[in-house]
Amino acid sequence: MAISLQLLFLPISFLLMISLIRFSQAAGIATYWGQTTAEGSLVDTCRKGTYDYVNIAFLINYGGGQTPQLNIAGHSLNSSEIETCQGLGIKVFLSLGGAANLSSSDDAQQVASYIWNEFLGGNESDSRPLGNAVLDGVDFHIQAGKADYLADLVQALSKYNTPERKLVYLSAAPECFIPDYFLDAAIKTGHFDYVWVEFFDNPPCEYTPGNTSALFDSWDRWASYPGINTLFLGVPADPAVSPSGGYIPPQVLIDEVLPFVQNYSNYGGVMVWDQRNF
């Protein structure tokens, strides 16, 4: 019975924490959708009223002459679902995952053109994977492959914006150690609107039970890092999501961590990794 109550307490506590984040200063909440069956449909996630940003995870096999593939773990997804989320005021991004394999600056330009025409505001494709829906932006969740030319890809995507209109929002999810091997050069371009740093599964820069020092030191470094505009605190939804550590109990997050990070002028909110049923 005690174990069952503990398992029940996790989602309840997390919902309470999310509610308090929602009412905290300058707090947006981001998450990823598409890699677990328990999370339900994209609309299910959006209708919870919890999130401001949802990253569709993941587009893989891009660059190096590969055929890009939208891998959403067996989920179905259509344009009406995306438009429903956007109608609720949620920004929906396409997240680039898997192994980066860009071979040149020209290759990066070609990948940017592909993403623009297949998922964003371009009109040069008659085979858009998600129909006529126009996603709000592109997220970079790169933890494998090569770091080469990712900065070129970011710059190429940013060029679709105009002084009059923001057509492509850009976000990144680096790991918390500095510099991030894959995304450092891309972050330093200054083109990312949001950077949700993953402060977990990395003991040198994450919370450990009873000790916030490594986390706070890392946050302080990221807050002043070149190219950072709006900074998010990336946290795991529960301990099982981050087997190498970094889970922050809701009460610690509410009483200690959020008051600290909210003191920074570029604090933007919290990114929740793997919301599952929450």
Tell me whether residue 18 is in a domain: no
Tell me whether residue 239 is in a domain: yes
| pLDDT given at position 8 | 37
pLDDT (average), residues 10-14: 55
Residue-wise DSSP of 173-189: --BSSSS-TTTHHHHTT
Average pLDDT, the chain: 91
Tell me whether residue 3 is in a domain: no
Q: Which CATH number fits the domain that encloses residue 123?
A: 3.20.20.80
175-232 tens-digit pLDDT:
999 999 999 999 999 999 999 999 999 999 999 999 999 999 999 999 999 999 999 9
By the 8 A CB rule, do 151 and 107 touch?
no
Task: For the beta carbon of residue 118, count every other beta carbon within 10 angstroms.
Answer: 19
Tell me whether residue 10 is in a domain: no
237-262 tens-digit pLDDT:
888 888 899 999 888 998 899 999 99
Tell me whether residue 69 is in a domain: yes
pTM of the model: 0.92
Phi, psi (rounded to 5 degrees) for 88: -90, 5
Is pLDDT of 160 > 90? yes
31-65 tens-digit pLDDT:
999 988 788 999 999 998 889 999 999 999 999 99
Is pLDDT of 157 > 60? yes
| pLDDT given at position 238 | 84
pLDDT (average), residues 143-155: 97
Residues of the domain holding 43: 27-273
Is pLDDT of 17 > 90? no
pLDDT (average), residues 265-275: 88
Is pLDDT of 18 > 90? no
Number of domains in the chain: 1
Tell me whether residue 184 is in a domain: yes
78-93 tens-digit pLDDT:
999 999 999 999 999 9
Tell me whether residue 2 is in a domain: no
Residue-wise DSSP of the chain: -HHHHHHHHHHHHHHHHHHHHHTSTT-EEEEEESS-GGG--HHHHHTTS--SEEEEEEEES-STT---EE--TT----HHHHHHHHHTT-EEEEEE-SEE---SHHHHHHHHHHHHHHHSS--S-S--TTTT---SEEEE---EE--TTHHHHHHHHHTT--SS----EEEE--BSSSS-TTTHHHHTTT--SEEEEE-SS-GGGS-BTTB-HHHHHHHHHHHTSTT-SEEEEEEESSGGG-TTS----HHHIIIIIHHHHTTSTTEEEEEEE--TT-
Tell me whether residue 182 is in a domain: yes
